[in-house]
Amino acid sequence: MSAADNILLRTEKLTRRLPGTVVTTLVEDIDVAIARREFVAITGPSGSGKSSLLYLLSLLDKPTTGRIILDGQDLTDVPEDDLADIRLRKLGFVFQFHFLLPEFTALENVMLPMRKLGKLAPAAQERRAAELLDSLGLADHRHKRPDQVSGGQRQRVAIARALANDPLLILADEPTGNLDSKSSANVREIFGHMVHELGKTIICVTHEQIFAEASDRQIHLVDGHVVRL
């Protein structure tokens, strides 16, 4: 595999500006390349554009200018529904807040992306969701709703959901920002496992130095610009 083939995600002059009376630049001229099986942390002070960059990379926001190339596919001008399909097949999300659907059990939450994708039969979907929960130490919590488990357990359910469709890339926004130190350490450990054992690529926004240090590489942002790769 050539070096170019090994690049999973690449951006060229990625810029995002918010229109208005006073135009706000969130990020500007971002050129980054993320290799497969790489664990990259995006760091920087508050308001530096970390989350804005993550939302652009996760195809939830559209750049004002610049290009995103994911898995060899240029995503400029791709219609919204096609971007949604790419998110479903290739991306997984973990947010600071678990964002689980409160009326559904842990198992149902994890099955949701699989049900939307419809690649597996219902029984296989349930089996895979159960396996993911078991692997994250939630075997006894499959049939509990989010309000019946702890914050750390909810975040693990969210990680299981992010892994449901076996994505190429996991995008995480302050995944430990709302957790105690023990749960944070657990999530860090899981992220390491995802990269090294499962072969996933992770881009994670974090302001926690200890989390950033656990990554392979840090992209440091200041005022919407990359100052250190």
Partner 1 sequence: MAAVTLHIARTHLLSRKRQTAVSLLGIVLGVGFFLGVASLMVGSEKDFIHRLVDNAPHITVKDEYRTARTQAAVLLHPDAAVQVRHVKPKEERRGIRNYKEKLERVAGLPGVRAAPVLSGAVTLSYAGRDLGATVSGVVPEQMRGVSIIETLMTYGTLDSLSTNADGIIIGEALADKFNLQPGNSISVTAPNGAVRLMKVVGLFKSGNKGYDESQTFALLKKVQALLNQQNVANRFIFKLDDPYQASAVAREVEARTGYLSESWQEASADIMGTLAVRNTIMYSVVSAILIVAAFGIYNIISTIVMEKTRDIAIMKSMGFHASDIKQIFLIQGLLLGVIGSAFGSALGAGIIYGMSQVMIKTPFASDPAPLPVDWGWQQFALACAFAMLASVFAAYLPARKAGNVQPVAILRGAA
Angle, vertex CA 217, rays to CA 156 and CA 222, nearest 5: 100
* Cα gap 102→222, rounded to integer Å: 36
Pairing of strands 39-43, 24-30: unpaired
Q: Which CB atom, from 101 or from 139, has the smaller least distance to partner 1?
A: 101
Token readout for 201 is 């690529």
Q: Which amino acid does the sequence have at 131? A: E
Binding to partner 1 by CB under 8 A, coded x per residue (else -) over 67-96, reads: -------------xx--xxxxxx---x-xx
134-156 CB burial, b ≥16 within 10 A, e <16: ebbebeebbebbbeebeebbbbb
Q: Does 168 bind partner 1 (CB under 8 A)?
A: no
The mark string for 30-69 relative to partner 1 (x by CB under 8 A, - otherwise) is ---------------------x---x--x-xx--------
Q: Which of 13, 24, 115, 124 binds partner 1 (CB under 8 A)?
A: 115
Instruction: Please pick, from the candidates 24, 101, 189, 229, the single residue that binds partner 1 as defined by CB under 8 A.
Output: 101
Applying CB under 8 A, the residues found at the interface with partner 1 are 51, 55, 58, 60-61, 80-81, 84-89, 93, 95-97, 99, 101-104, 112-113, 115-118, 161, 173-174
